Amino acid sequence: MHVERDAMAIRRIYHYPEPVLKQVAAPVAAIDDEIRLLAADMAETMYAAPGVGLAAPQVGVSKRVIVMDCAPKDQPPQLVVAVNPEIVAREGGSVEEEGCLSVPGYYASVARSEQVTVRYLDLEGRERTVTTDGLWAVCFQHEIDHLDGILFVDHLSPLKRALFRKKWKKLQEQQEEQL
């Protein structure tokens, strides 16, 4: 099944603290045209941002769909669309700096599993299981968190979260001044 390119659109990215980002997203019952169009729009929105991952709640849709492309910039694009993704195994630990299209302008180090095995459905409804590490593993964990209403700043220590809230307030005020 193919989605008409003309029908695709860049969608608005929801920002912290909009409520949809805190909701647990619903599993996708059937991969139909609506889901295929959502995934296509999400990919377009992610590439335009630009970003390496996007979860459906970030465009205001509380459904378990994520898109990612963590291919190095000098390599061809490698779009992954994962429906109902689930982490089925984890190994090791790593701490990397993360950012989020829903928390623009803020970056922080987050502790994650170093390697994850993820089971999901692709857009043809085929079940896939991948084991990955590095940026892809961080991205899978970050995006699947979004489906459970968790943002990367929720992983920070209470002190760092307080600093984040302060900095975020300042960023919002600066934006308002610019308007």
Residues that bind Zn ion (CB under 5 A): 100
Q: Give catalytic status of residue 4 as yes or no.
A: no
Give, in order, the Cα–Cα distances in Å from 160 to each of 107, 146, 164: 11, 20, 6
Q: Which is nearer to Zn ion, 3 or 150 (CB)?
A: 150
| Closest CB to Zn ion among residues 3, 87 | 87
- Choice among 143, 173, 176, 177 that is catalytic: 143
Considering the complex, what minimum distance in angstroms separates the CB of residue 64 from Zn ion?
A: 15
N-to-C CA span, the chain: 43
CB closer to Zn ion out of 4 and 24: 24
Closest CA to 49 of 67, 61, 64, 31: 67
The beta strand positions in the chain, using DSSP E, are 53-55, 65-68, 80-91, 94-98, 108-112, 115-121, 127-133
Least distance CB 29 / Zn ion (angstroms)? 24
In the block, residue with structure tokens 């459906």: 56
Residue 42: CB minimum distance to Zn ion, A: 12
CA 27 → CA 30, 82, 96, distances in Å?
9, 12, 29
Catalytic residues: 143
